[in-house]
Homo-oligomer: A and B are copies of this chain.
Amino acid sequence: MNGFDFDEHLRNRKAVIDEALERLLSTFDEPLGRLHEAMRYAVIDGGKRIRPILTLDACYAVGGDDRLALPAACAIELIHSYSLVHDDMPCLDNDDYRRGQPTCHRAFGEAMALLCGDALLTLAFEVLADEQIKAGVPTDVAMEVIRVIAKAAGHLGMVGGQAKDIEAQERLSAGEQLHELELYDIHRRKTGALIAASVEVGAIIGGAFKWQRKALREYGEWIGFAFQVVDDLIDAAGEPKKGKWEPNAVMVLGVDGARHLVNEAVKCALMQLRQFDERAEPLRAFASFLLERLG
């Protein structure tokens, strides 16, 4: 790919995003003790920053100034972080560790973790309404970004997927079968919606033409889908999680079926980029990178 170094690209992007998140979470108007500590703990955690990188890359792909997309990129990562904090809690996944560190509720207590998630979600919208405008994003563009992110993160998107996931787990535990279409619906919402939105808002901020926005949105949906199935394959290859029944593509399709699905989804994602020039190289490389994760 013309000597394009994707690993270096990821490192550079991650450094820019980490610095912006660090700034957001250290320059508060007033100190607020443990809540702020918990918020920092939950966000500054060595995450890969996949979603915000996609936002910057999509903005770049349509010829936009990717610095304008940095506030939206950070807001999306704040939303992703809040969702991990709440998902880890005892009433949901009950996880004690994340990336080798105690989860937020193990480190700060359940009450503070619940509030930390609430605060991060709210901060995301504060950043979208405040930092975007300060960065120079036109108000109507910034408003469209808020609309897309709120829909993706909410009751028909990420939170809705999580709710359907719980219902599916209950039925699996009761010995019922999970239909393939149901699994796709959970994946599309739970992981896919926010990833697709990450790409779409980058396109919006970059001033995408209508066809570009549509193509990148669809690229994002395929990527989000492939991303989750890859995760399912990795999960299925590892230790079973406390005997919990979690909806997983491998359970429904088998390893070969799931691998085939990832391949097809990545092809569809790449097809959506066919009319884009070399500025879409990072997005193309991301799709290939998903195949590499499969090994």
* A interface residue numbers (CB < 8 A to B): 28-30, 32-36, 39, 82-83, 86, 89, 91-92, 109-112, 114-115, 117-119, 121-123, 125-126, 128-130, 133, 139-140, 142-143, 146-147, 150-151, 153-156, 159-160, 162-164, 166-167
Contact = CB atoms under 8 A, between A and B. Distances in A.
A122 B157 CA distance: 10
A284 to B, nearest CB: 31
Contacts of A160: 32, 35, 119
Contact of A34 (B139, B150, B151, B163): B163
When all copies of this chain in the complex are counted, the total is 2
Given A122-B154, A123-B150, A126-B151, 15 more contacts: A32-B160, A35-B163, A86-B115, A91-B114, A92-B111, A117-B118, A118-B121, A122-B159, A123-B154, A125-B146, A125-B150, A126-B147, A139-B143, A143-B143, A146-B146
A39 B159 CA distance: 12
A195 B28 CA distance: 22
Question: Chain A's interface: helix, strand, loop or mixed, by majority?
Answer: helix
A30 B189 CA distance: 12
Contacts of A143: 129, 133, 139, 142-143
A109 B92 CA distance: 10
A28 B89 contact: no
A20 B121 CA distance: 24
A36 B151 CA distance: 15
Given A114-B86, A139-B143, A166-B112, A119 B32 contact: no
A156 B29 contact: yes
A263 B123 CA distance: 35
A123 B155 contact: yes
Given A126-B147, A150-B125, A166-B111, A32 B156 contact: yes
A35 B111 contact: no
A162 B115 contact: yes
